[in-house]
Amino acid sequence: MKHTVLVTGSSRGIGAGVARRFAREGHRVAIHYREREDDARAVADDLKREGCSVMLVQGDLTVPSEAAGVARAVREVFGFIDVLVNNAGIALPTQLVTDTTLADWNRVLETNVTGMFLITNSVLAEMISQKRGAIVNISSMWGVTGGSCEVAYSASKAAVIGYTKALAKEVAPSGIRVNCVAPGFVLTDMTRAFTAEVIAGICEETPLLRAGLPEDIAAAVQFLASEEASFITGQVLSVDGGRCI
């Protein structure tokens, strides 16, 4: 059965990898972006050339009216949103918590937590009325273990995990499943800027001795959204090469 899938923050990196995975499996995919229209359009154009069914949708998910507008735009084109992947997020440069300004703290929490809350609420009412749907939230290994000099990011990603578990309990009677993926170090446009020495050091600290790829995360997300995971909800799946063992 093919679904409509909304992947937030899918112009690049993990989000783009997730969008590609669902689209290439024949699902209708909404590629969401806030500012990176060119990147999002490049992902969409590549998938369209492959014959995939995709659309672009823009919006700042921290603004209630824009979050609602994103959900409405997807429904107008593709109909009922079967799967929501909450991937949109930001991180600060590595820094001491005492060097983190209130403005930076608020920006991270608003993007990583409030945005997730608003877009989820924008699709949840219809999921509840239809008594079906799957939500997969993207956290981080730092949300599980906490990262030194990553306090704001770690706090936001820990909140994603708590939100996942609580919402899973709340909406399970309506037939909706809510799960979470906690990635480890993943090679993306952002992390490829690290020096080769830094990346090698991270790989040495990872039991599987390699960095992750967006495709690794996408496979986990796709599984949790699929019927094969129909008896799984409220879980956090660490896809980190063993870093959190």
Active site residue 163: no
28, containing H or E segment? strand 28-33
Express each pLDDT in 78-91 by its tens digit: 999 999 999 999 99
Strand 83-86, strand 54-58: pairing = unpaired
Q: At what angle do helices 13-24 and 214-225 cross, to 10 degrees?
A: 50
Looking at 33, 153, 163, 185, which residue is catalytic? 153
Express each pLDDT in 166-220 by its tens digit: 999 999 999 999 999 999 999 998 787 788 999 999 999 999 999 999 999 999 9
Which ranges in the chain belong to alpha helices (H)? 13-24, 37-49, 64-78, 102-109, 115-130, 141-145, 151-171, 196-204, 214-225
What's the pTM value of the predicted model, to 2 decimals? 0.97
Express each pLDDT in 82-118 by its tens digit: 999 999 999 999 999 999 999 999 999 999 999 999 9
Q: Are 134 and 127 in contact (CB under 8 A)?
A: no
- All structural domains of the chain, each given as residue ranges with its CATH number in brackets, are 4-239 (3.40.50.720)
